[in-house]
């Protein structure tokens, strides 16, 4: 019990099992929200890496956009899931070679999102290691969190 002296009111500060369950639900919800944001950030990061590779190929003398996209679309690092990634790349990105750079990047990101989604589902269905446990994904999360934690809040301007 806690007593507010100026009001003469006594408040019971004991928590019920419902309060604890509610806190757990809020925590799980926040964890899911973080993981959703983390997955979106990972997808964006993967798309940017592919875009960087595309740009490297594109700068080779005589290389067309279509050829650079074809060179970029090999996913041997995805091991047993390379066919998923390559399929989405071939269906989504290769036909978009004539689009503007911004539209083409949108297709790259769409292909990555579709590939990640399908890989996650396939991993669940086959009982393979969950996507969220992959070294590549966890390394991305660690790097991002370390970068966020290393930022000096004093360097940032506060907004009114």
Residue 105 lies in a domain: yes
> Over the stretch 32-49, which tens digit does the pLDDT of each residue have?
666 778 899 999 999 999
Residue 33 lies in a domain: yes
Residue 10 lies in a domain: no
Residue 91 lies in a domain: yes
pLDDT at 31: 56
Range of the domain at 80: 29-131
pLDDT at 36: 74
Predicted TM-score (pTM) of the model is: 0.74
Q: What is the CA radius of gyration of the chain?
A: 24
Q: In angstroms, how far apart are the furthest CA atoms of the chain?
A: 84
| Alpha-carbon span 52 to 142, nearest angstrom | 22
The count of structural domains within the chain is 1
Pairing of strands 2-4, 9-11: antiparallel
DSSP state of 52: H
Residue 61 lies in a domain: yes
pLDDT along the chain (160 residues), means of 10: 55 60 66 77 96 97 96 92 97 97 98 98 96 93 85 58
pLDDT at 18: 65
């Amino acid at each position: 019990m806690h007593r507010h002296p100026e009001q003469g009111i006594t408040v019971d500060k004991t928590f019920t099992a419902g309060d604890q369950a509610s806190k757990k639900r809020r925590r799980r919800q926040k964890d899911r929200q973080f993981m959703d944001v983390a997955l979106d950030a990972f997808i964006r990061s993967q798309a940017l890496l592919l875009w960087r590779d595309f740009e490297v190929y594109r700068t080779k003398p005589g290389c067309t956009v279509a050829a650079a996209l074809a060179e970029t679309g090999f996913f041997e690092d995805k091991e047993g899931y390379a066919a998923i990634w390559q399929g989405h790349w071939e269906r989504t990105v290769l036909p978009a070679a004539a689009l503007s750079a911004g539209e083409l990047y949108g297709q790259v990101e769409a292909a990555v999102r579709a590939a990640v989604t399908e890989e996650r589902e396939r991993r669940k269905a086959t009982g393979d290691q969950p996507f969220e446990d992959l070294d590549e994904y966890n390394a991305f999360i660690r790097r991002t969190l370390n970068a966020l934690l290393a930022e000096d809040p004093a360097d940032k301007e506060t907004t009114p």
